[in-house]
Amino acid sequence: MSHEDVEVLVVGAGQAGIAMSEHLSRAGVEHLVVERDRIAERWRSWRWDSLVANGPAWHDCFPGLEFDVDPDAFAGKEQVAEYLVAYAEKFHAPIRTGVEVYSVRRHVNRPGFRVETDEGTIDARYVVAATGPFQRPIIPAVVPQDAGIHQIHSNQYRNPAQLPEGAVLVVGAGSSGVQIADELRRSGREVYLAVGPHDRPPRRYRGRDFCWWLGVLGKWDMAAPPVGAEHVTIAVSGARGGHTVDFRALAATGVTLLGRAGDYEDGVLAIAPDLRANIAAGDANYLSVLDEADAYVLRNGLDLPEEPEAHVIGPDPESLTHPILSLDLKAAGIASIVWATGFALDYSWLQIDPGAFDERGRPIHQRGVSAEPGIYFLGLPWQSRRGSSFLWGVWHDARYIADQIGIQRGYAAYPAATATTQADVTRSVATLAQTGVA
């Protein structure tokens, strides 16, 4: 087993770890990125076969390297993974794959941390947890595993042929749930979709993608979700060239809409009576974006084509006018459940002060700077803004973290500067801080 010393250890070589490595490299900071699998493994093996990015290629990319696809196209999951590999190669990122981190513990009576891995130990002055938000799939303990229903999380779903014959219940109507339900229905399956609270932005409006609209309207820079909307998902799709998610249109194809899934007893799943309210809130969100976009066009005198038909909300399907409040899974022929219910964070390997995490295990931080000095987080949802967990957003958060590490390196260098004047030390700190964002 080996031992080595490094100034900054970055754990994870997905989009967050690669962005972090670029900014540290620019600042001339010695560092190492370790990854237990391949680069961008979550894009490769934690996604279904037909997945594409939810943002167009011109928007969802790092500065300095474009996707090798049409700028308005939506890159497939393998294209995203290969893009990240190419980006890392562009600046010779010091990435070591096949290394699993077991634990990180603070040194006693000296700075830094001891990191235990399956290849040996690493001593690091600073540690960046760049493992992202998709760590532990959540399957609610609702339907027992012995109920005779095939149950998988959306991260295990690959294609319709993977599931046993019969109808499918998809729980969760964010981007993943909606796209999986649509693909299953198009394959000929009978599909039930449980719809919770969601935002439903237009995919395109007046000739511009919603990523552009959220940008010019300042919505990507929202510092926190509205009160009460912390768990609201975004129903948006880049599938089949990109389209606006319309639950009424989805119902017209044969998908049966349900409210949120509740308790399960004797083969019957209780359904919350909240479907109409959830759909109405999504519609209101959709229409509000259109209204803000129209006001922006008028205010700036832009020559963008009008789309009055986009404001028309279609008729309510039967599943909305006569909602199902209990679902007998066997009678409905449901053989499978796909739980598109998100992920929980797992930082059990960070064996640091428990006060650095809240009661749900989420890191306590300010823009990724941990309450535990020397520890940083990157790739978290809403880390600094709405766009933080997106490909382009994490790059900007990484720049800020590199800045903070640069500042701390400057302070750490102070005792060694005894032969210089105070002014020299002050200039040194300032210089290091600037190089962190170079």
Per-residue pLDDT tens for 129-182?
999 888 899 999 999 999 999 999 999 999 999 999 999 999 998 899 999 999
Q: What is the dihedral of CA 22, 67, 216, 307, to 10 degrees?
A: -170
Burial string for 168-195 (b: 16+ CB within 10 Å, else e) reads bbbbbbbbbbbbbbbbbbeeebbbbbbb
Partners of 261 in the β-ladder: 271
The number of beta carbons lying within 10 Å of the beta carbon of residue 86 is 13
296 is written with which tokens? Answer: 């922006």
The residues near 216 (Cβ < 8 Å, ≥ 6 apart) are: 296
The residues near 374 (Cβ < 8 Å, ≥ 6 apart) are: 106, 111, 112, 113, 125, 126, 127, 408
pLDDT band at 222 (very low <50, low <70, confident <90, very high): confident
pTM exceeding 0.95: no
Q: How far apart are CA 96 and CA 406, in angstroms?
A: 23
Per-residue pLDDT tens for 226-257?
766 656 788 888 888 888 999 999 999 999 99
In angstroms, the first-to-last Cα distance of the chain is 37
- Checking if the pLDDT of 415 tops 80, the result is no
Task: Give the residue among 239, 374, 265 at the shortest CA–CA distance from 327.
Answer: 265
> Residue 373 corresponds to which amino acid?
P
